[in-house]
Amino acid sequence: MADPQSVIPQVADEDVEWICRIMGLREFDQSRQKFLRARTTLDVSACPGSGKTTLIVAKLAMMARKWPHRTKGICVLSHTNAAREENQRRLRGTVVGQQLLAYPHFIDTIHGFVNRFLALPWLNSNGFPVATIDDDVATAYRRRAIGERGYHTVQSFLEKRYSGFDKLRIRDRDLRFDIGKPFPAGPNTKTHKFARQAIEAATSAGFFCYDEMFVWAKALLQDCPAVAHWLQRRFPLVIIDEMQDTSELQVGVVATVFRRDSSEVVVQRVGDPNQAIYDGAPPDAEGADVFPDPDRCLEIPNSFRFGPSIAALASPFAVNPVGPNGLQGVGPRTVRNSPECCPHAVFVFPDESPTGALDMFGHHVLSVFSDSALAEGAVSAVGAVHRAHPEIKPGHDHYPKTVPHYWSGYTAEIARRDPHPESLIQYVRVAQAAVRDGHDLSSGVEKIASGVSRLAHRIGDASRLGRRVGTHRVVANGLKGDPRAASAYRDLLCAFLMEWMPLTSATWNVRKAEILSIARALCETVEDEGRAAGFLYWDEHDPSLMVDAPTSPTDAGPNVYRVADECGRRVDICLGSIHSVKGQTHLATLLLNTFRNGHSSQKLLPWLLGENVNGGKAGAQNLDRLLQTYVAMTRPSHLVCLAVPRSALGDDAALNGHLQTLKARGWHVAEVVNGSPRWYS
């Protein structure tokens, strides 16, 4: 085989000038140009806001412009659908970039690559049915396969061990299974037999969970090792985005196919190890393909997102030192009527009363930014823990533990980057928010269709939906034989997404019977309508969570907390988890203290005060906190703030010294007293 460097086009000065011109980019510095021109295997460690996606798209566009091959292509893999969609969207913006969206090139998630080139070929060649790949659908099929008696036997047993039936996963080609840890019952027990029956029935019918596809991918590579060689010939250049978030499972398969020590393929991995907040392989795991490779690493330590003040405050929280001089801020972009350097603030609240922190942050934002500035960027508040813990009350040692303790109207299920609600009403709210925010009816239609599809799979055999899951076209086709149900489905979409029917308990209760009739029509057989009750329940929300018709860009939506000042000016604060905002840019961000094995702000106080820097003195739990804090503090372009409980700053004797240190490090400090700020001079 030819040397891959002879196959990959060379980037010349005129190519760089061309891409800057058509994409409207500033001149690239030396480190960025080195990546654009690279034709060898390397890793790129790019700091937040460094233009990583822009760099990848620019490189791909230059490659597409000069790519001479009809049967060899570029393979671009991402950890998430969001990153894949962003790469595809940006490539569609250039004529040459559009060429990369078709054969012989491949741009998708790692899961998409594994399914298409490895897992599905093995399943098809071994006589399995066309696969349906969806965690919820596979779990629903397994439940039906063993009946309610079998399901409740397994579920009740696993609940006592802090797990559940939905955690069952196939772990090898012999259909051995676990729950993320060894299955806690022996093979001769009734529980184990029911679980095996469920796994075997779903496998025979072709229903699998997402991560189980890696089992069949490994099976193909074991049975036919030459597949890796064929894929290397097909894709001489492989670019892996968000490398820091890949799991050990993903890394293992991708590294087997595209070996970084191979002379037949160039593998360029891009990411930021300081933003590795997902459950990837630990950097010191045995056999892990460590990212970044210290021997072949290109660093990009300067960010266009924010300026020097945010960079200086965030840099100590980076687990790995960023460049030789720490994180560098060379931004931000100019925002109308906003100060170049904003008063970054720490809001100290009483331990038992965190609710005033959001109001203080909102009023601070209103005092700093004009309405025109607020119209140009999002304002957010995020925490590491965001699922509800109603058992934790004021006065408890863990309080405030989670984002809902700052505002009871917050709902965790609809705050995910890819929302996966637990009830149909939450699907509707997410759909309405998508239409309102994106002015795109199709995204809302698809979300409601997904909810209706999941309801059908809960109550019976929804095989008429075929092997594709949760799309409007699939649902509409499934209703063709029942004109009444098809009409009810269209009316449902119209009422929720076009007429903006008010969502109240009364109107929802009227609609429930209609929705259930639609789900019933999608089923070949209805086995238990009782399973619909939990999915169709009405959950009461704060009125500000209701999604109004898109009459103005300032309408409050799900998980949006509105703060208004005495002049009637207002700011909407989007609440979420730190994970949900990764990759985003905000105008201003508030990091909320939460509790997991300790209060986050208390555990990280040595870094906040400058006593510790980077991850050298951190244990495993603090390493996770540092990663999450770094991600949160590098979201804003202009203003970063912290919400800290009073107890996190130590006793009264230590308080004054800590406050002076914070101010010396660039923080403005205010104590929340009876809902009002008392600024320390």
Over residues 97-111, mean pLDDT = 89
Judged by DSSP in three states, 469 sits in coil
CA–CA distance, 82 with 418 (Å, rounded to integer)? 8
Task: Tell me: do 338 and 477 sit in the same domain.
Answer: no
pLDDT value of residue 405: 95
Task: Tell me: do 457 and 519 sit in the same domain.
Answer: yes
Token pair for residue 412? 């965790």
Measuring CA to CA, which residue among 480, 522, 492, 614 is closest to residue 137? 522
CA–CA distances in Å: residue 43 to residues 78, 87, 299: 15, 19, 9
β strands within 466-619, DSSP E: 525-526, 560-564, 570-577, 586-592
Q: Is 89's pLDDT higher than 90?
A: no
CA–CA distance, 66 with 214 (Å, rounded to integer)? 34
Q: Is 315's pLDDT higher than 90?
A: yes
Per-residue pLDDT tens for 136-181? 889 989 998 999 899 999 999 999 999 999 999 999 999 999 999 9
**Eight-class DSSP state of 98:** G
As a whole number of Å, the CA-based R_g of the chain is 26
Residues 6 or more apart whose CB falls under 8 angstroms from that of 147 comprise: none
**Eight-class DSSP state of 117:** I
Task: Tell me: do 238 and 103 sit in the same domain.
Answer: yes
Structural domain includes residue 22: yes
Give me the residue label for tokens 């790129």: 44
Structural domain includes residue 120: no
Judged by DSSP in three states, 535 sits in helix
Q: Is 420's pLDDT higher than 80?
A: no
pLDDT value of residue 358: 95
User: Domain limits at 141?
Assistant: 135-208
Structural domain includes residue 223: no
Contact present, 344 and 640 (Cβ < 8 Å)? yes
CA–CA distance, 330 with 346 (Å, rounded to integer)? 24
Asked which of 280, 299, 318 is the last residue of a domain, the reply is 299
Angle at 227 between CA 221 and CA 229, to 5 degrees: 120
Residues 6 or more apart whose CB falls under 8 angstroms from that of 407 comprise: 355, 358, 542, 561, 575
Task: Tell me: do 565 and 663 sit in the same domain.
Answer: yes
Residue 250's domain is classified under what CATH number? 3.40.50.300
Q: Is 636's pLDDT higher than 50?
A: yes
Given the DSSP bridges, would you call strands 302-303 and 570-577 parallel, antiparallel or unpaired? unpaired
Per-residue pLDDT tens for 402-414? 999 999 888 886 6
**Eight-class DSSP state of 530:** G
Task: Tell me: do 672 and 621 sit in the same domain.
Answer: yes
Structural domain includes residue 277: yes
Residue 581's domain is classified under what CATH number? 3.40.50
Question: Is 0.75 topped by the overall pTM?
Answer: yes
Task: Tell me: do 252 and 103 sit in the same domain.
Answer: yes
pLDDT value of residue 507: 85
Return the number of other C-beta atoms located less than 10 Å from residue 44's C-beta: 28
Per-residue pLDDT tens for 567-610? 999 999 999 999 989 889 999 999 999 999 999 999 999 999 99
Task: Specify which residues 563 forms β-bridges with.
Answer: 571
CA–CA distance, 675 with 353 (Å, rounded to integer)? 9
Over residues 365-370, mean pLDDT = 94
β strands within 190-288, DSSP E: 207-208, 237-240, 266-271
Judged by DSSP in three states, 367 sits in helix
Structural domain includes residue 227: no
Task: Tell me: do 477 and 507 sit in the same domain.
Answer: yes
Task: Tell me: do 595 and 671 sit in the same domain.
Answer: yes
Per-residue pLDDT tens for 508-544? 888 888 999 999 999 888 877 887 888 888 876 543 3
Structural domain includes residue 122: no
Q: What is the mean pLDDT of the chain?
A: 88
Angle at 680 between CA 674 and CA 681, to 5 degrees: 145
Task: Tell me: do 290 and 312 sit in the same domain.
Answer: no
Given the DSSP bridges, would you call strands 560-564 and 570-577 parallel, antiparallel or unpaired? antiparallel
Token pair for residue 438? 């994106």
Over residues 213-239, mean pLDDT = 96
Token pair for residue 52? 């990583």
pLDDT value of residue 509: 86
User: Domains in the chain: how many in total?
Assistant: 4
Over residues 638-642, mean pLDDT = 97
Contact present, 594 and 404 (Cβ < 8 Å)? no
Asked which of 255, 280, 299 is the last residue of a domain, the reply is 299
CA–CA distance, 186 with 191 (Å, rounded to integer)? 8
Task: Tell me: do 465 and 610 sit in the same domain.
Answer: no
Task: Tell me: do 398 and 443 sit in the same domain.
Answer: no
Structural domain includes residue 129: no
